[in-house]
Amino acid sequence: MTKTNEQGILVWRRIPGLENESSQQQQQQWRGGNLRGVGVGFASVSMIENNKEKDFFPSTDQFLKHPLALLALVPKDAALFAAGAVAGAAAKTFTAPLDRVKLLMQTHGLRIGEGSAKKAIGFLEAISVIGKEEGLKGYWKGNLPQVIRVIPYSAAQLFSYEAYKKLFKGDGDELSILGRLAAGACAGMTSTLVTYPLDVLRLRLAVEPGCRTMSQVALSMLRDEGVASFYNGLGPSLIGIAPYIAVNFCIFDLVKKALPEKYQKRTETSLATALVSATLATLMCYPLDTVRRQMQMRGSPYKTVLDAIPGIIERDGVIGLYRGFLPNALKNLPNSSIRLTTFDTVKSLIASSQKELERIVEENREKQN
């Protein structure tokens, strides 16, 4: 029998014509717990909810004294979503200068045209060019659409990854390696498809002269190039992000799962595992990122991936596919550190707030008893 928090209430109803001189005595016998000798009358049983748990709920004064307990009232999924969004925005903003340098290195050969002898730009030279031409704030040019993009991007990737894992898991208890790879690939493509126009806007703001705001860039693209310009390079983006997220998530899950249990929940373990998985995934998929960026440029001669890869190799050599890899690799360290540290801190706060709320409720129960 399942234990419930409900209690039964016996309610007497008088029915005309069934009363006699002993009815009052019989009712007293019912109320007193004596069930013998009851032959007439009518009783009904109703159920009421036990509200005792609500009676122990913290008061406003207690919440003011222990504000951490308020966090326990926020749905866990909403709190984790907010943590992921804040962590992503902070990480993107902190590493924006390195990302801007990477974009300039990736697109330099296409921007200067075929007439120039210098078709590549170095890491230090790119840093110097941005500082001389645009000043300090130039390092964060194009960061706003990136921050705006990372919120829905993280949300779409997070929820779709969980949904795809359940889908590919099927009836089994364990998700296979192929299932993890497929779930990561689908999640990466879903989040990319949802937020791709913002990614194109961010690139145009970062590398094209004369662009000042997102609205100016968007209107210019609509007027001169049409709606399709917001999806230039989508093919290589999907092709590139699918193996990247698949490899990244799969390696992260499997490596962390293989470690002893006492190390699995430590922040430094998550950080080291994330860096290893991100590095391997980046090495495998970075050339497709370069192809995507060059296809996003205004007036790009490349229409498909099959056009872009041989075109870049012919102009810049195989090394051209890895232009900007150094700043991209350098930004992964602080990016992963900030993201994981923020996320783990919020998860720890959520657990602490739940314990704090339970402690207050238990104190109230003991006082009332």
Give the model confidence (pLDDT) of 264-312 as tens digits: 777 777 778 877 887 888 888 888 888 888 887 777 888 888 888 898 8
**How far is the C-alpha of 276 from the C-alpha of 63, rounded, in Å?**
42
Closest by Cα among 120, 183, 62, 97 to 319: 120
Q: Are 38 and 30 in contact (CB under 8 A)?
A: yes
**How far is the C-alpha of 11 from the C-alpha of 361, rounded, in Å?**
33
| More reliable by pLDDT, 224 or 77 | 224
**How far is the C-alpha of 166 from the C-alpha of 145, rounded, in Å?**
32
Give the model confidence (pLDDT) of 31-50 as tens digits: 444 444 444 455 444 444 44
Give the model confidence (pLDDT) of 199-209 as tens digits: 888 778 777 66
pLDDT in the model for residue 6: 46
pLDDT in the model for residue 49: 43
Task: Dig out the tokens for 313 from the structure.
Answer: 């190799």
pLDDT in the model for residue 34: 47
pLDDT in the model for residue 46: 44
Task: Dig out the tokens for 239 from the structure.
Answer: 């092709």
Helices (H), the chain: 23-31, 52-55, 60-65, 76-94, 96-112, 123-134, 143-169, 177-207, 214-224, 234-258, 261-264, 267-296, 305-316, 325-368
186 pLDDT band, cuts 50/70/90, is very high
Give the model confidence (pLDDT) of 123-156 as tens digits: 788 888 888 888 888 888 878 877 877 777 877 7
Task: Dig out the tokens for 357 from the structure.
Answer: 């709320």
- Residue 27 pLDDT > 80, yes or no? no
pLDDT in the model for residue 103: 79
Give the model confidence (pLDDT) of 157-169 as tens digits: 777 877 888 888 8
Percent of the chain exceeding pLDDT 90 equals 1
pLDDT in the model for residue 50: 46
In angstroms and rounded to an integer, the radius of gyration of the C-alpha atoms of the chain is 32
1 pLDDT band, cuts 50/70/90, is very low
118 pLDDT band, cuts 50/70/90, is low
Q: Are 237 and 285 in contact (CB under 8 A)?
A: no
- Residue 8 pLDDT > 60, yes or no? no
Give the model confidence (pLDDT) of 49-79 as tens digits: 444 556 677 788 888 888 888 888 888 777 7
